[in-house]
Amino acid sequence: MQDIQLIINRIHDAMVPRLGEGKVADYIPELAKIDPKQFGIAVTTVEGETFVAGDALVPFSIQSISKVFMLTLALGKAGETVWNRVGREPSGSAFNSIVQLERESGIPRNPFVNAGAIVVSDIVMAGHQPREAIGELLRFVQYVADDDSIIIDNAVAKSENATGYRNYALANFMRSFGNLHHPVEHVLGVYFHQCALAMTCSQLSRAGLFLANQGRNPLSGHTVVSARRAKRINALMLTCGHYDGSGDFAYHVGLPGKSGVGGGILAIAPGKASIAVWSPGLNKVGNSALGSAALEMLANETGWSVFGA
Ligand code: GLU
């Protein structure tokens, strides 16, 4: 049995001298205000135990990590038909790129680039008012994390809405191709609120646990998705979860993962654990600099990479 607490304490100690590395996302004004010198890590094992170190109990904006939860809801609602409207290939371009979308007639490459996530939100909205779709996502995240105190930070959602010109461009573009079924302002309202979910590393690692345990949350005993679906969501996280840095993340860490511009990363070690790390400074491709380094250390020390020790 590995001593997870010891391992993450060691990782934390290695990260402390590096606090402040990278660049905090400032294109969302509310995120620019965050103190960059923070680092947290939480590991929840499939046995149901959570280990934490550093700022693991400080809520942060999960941003694109929410795309994993929204995709899970969309697959539950629309099943495989999701893939008629969004692809499953790594994009090889920035998370908010518009060029590819034009070439590929408004069908985004995958559900984890912004355009793809906006389509996924549109799918979840079917038959709902925007407010209900946001509520559905919030309740789902509270349910999988088994924590009703999780909230959406409305100031972050508002801040992004005020400056989200590029996401408006992407959404309008897809609407012109008929790949958005609801008004652009409604879909983006839902999308910005999902990105503004505020969670701690500890809550996030528990929320991801069903993906590490064949779709079943071992804490509650509830089956969230089938084992096959969990496997497939993990596959998408591995190939598309880190923007244009997905290959590099697979090379260095070797775990399915999803990062967000708030500096968080959710990583899944199938059959072992769900891991959340957070540090606001981002590297050149937009992934948490210390978060990526911490996960590389964790994968090396535990031998949890899906490609072998
Ligand atoms: N809300 C952010 C955006 O759309 C999410 C980006 C991210 O975390 O990758 O720009």
Cα of 158 to ligand 1 centre, how many Å? Answer: 13
- Is the domain defined by 64-195 classed in CATH 3.40.718.10? no
- What DSSP character marks residue 141? H
Cα separation, 33 vs 29, in Å, equals: 7
Pick the residue whose CA is nearest to atom 3 on ligand 1: 114
For the chain, domain boundaries? 4-63+199-302, 64-195
CATH architecture of 4-63+199-302: 3-Layer(aba) Sandwich (3.40)
- What per-residue confidence (pLDDT) applies to 1? 65
- What per-residue confidence (pLDDT) applies to 309? 79
Ligand 1 pocket test, pick from 30, 34, 61, 63 with the greatest ligand atom count within 8 Å of Cβ, gives 63
- What per-residue confidence (pLDDT) applies to 180? 98
Instruction: Please list the rounded mean pLDDT of every run of 10 residues in the chain (309 residues).
Output: 93 98 95 97 97 98 98 97 96 78 90 96 97 98 97 97 95 96 98 98 98 95 97 97 92 97 98 98 95 98 94
Cα of 290 to ligand 1 centre, how many Å? Answer: 19
Contact criterion met (CB below 8 Å) for 51 and 8: yes
Asked whether the domain spanning 64-195 has the same topology as the one spanning 4-63+199-302, the reply is yes
- What per-residue confidence (pLDDT) applies to 104? 85
Alpha helices in the chain (DSSP H): 4-15, 29-32, 66-78, 99-103, 114-124, 130-145, 154-163, 165-176, 184-195, 201-207, 209-212, 227-240, 246-252, 289-302
